[in-house]
Amino acid sequence: MISEEVNPIDLFNTWFDEASKTEDNDPNAVAVATSTPDGKPSLRMVLLKSVDDNGFVFYTNLGSRKAQQLSDNAHVAMCFHWKSLRRQVRIEGTVEPVTEQEADAYFDSRPRMSQIGAWASKQSTLLKGRFELEARIAKYTARFNIGKVKRPDFWSGFRVVPHEIEFWQDETFRLHDRLVYTRHEDNWTTKRLYP
């Protein structure tokens, strides 16, 4: 049974550490759901880059569909599914932008070609053909041939500040264990749900 005595961020980190040992690819992959101002949903996978008591952080092109939707409607949902462990974590909350310093630090840690790719990609816009992308990669590879690749102004991150976190553990006969943490200012309360 999932313990109610643990801070939900600590519990998430424990589960994430276990998933990092058992998931073959991208244990930090998370589905992020956004919506338009009129409620039309959109869902995609992103990679979690950090988590702490303030929230869950991912990065993107600020011109992307998800970034545009998040600027119009800050409510977001996330879902981690670690099939090897038969576990799931659902998070609901609101987003806030990361600081310029956080975005710079993470961008600086990326491989050089990923940095150039951030400049080259007009994420979520129409691509006429693969050659167009390759030409843009060549352009920015030449531009940043020597020295540091500066983070583009149109590339940054979002922090999902959780209001609710649900931990789900598969159990026999579909009698799953579900524990929900709900935030009230700086405190968390818990409740169990039927499977």
**Active-site amino acid positions:** 174
Work out the burial of residue 56: count CB atoms within 10 Å of its CB; fewer than 13 is exposed, 13-18 middle, 19 or more buried.
buried
Residue 2: closest CA among 173, 176, 174: 176
Report which secondary-structure segment, H or E, holds 195.
none
Question: In this structure, are residues 133 and 127 in contact, taking their beta carbons and an 8 Å threshold?
Answer: yes
Show the tokens assigned to 121: 């990609």
Crossing angle of helices 112-120 and 130-143, in 10° steps, is: 120
Residue 62: closest CA among 90, 100, 25, 93: 100
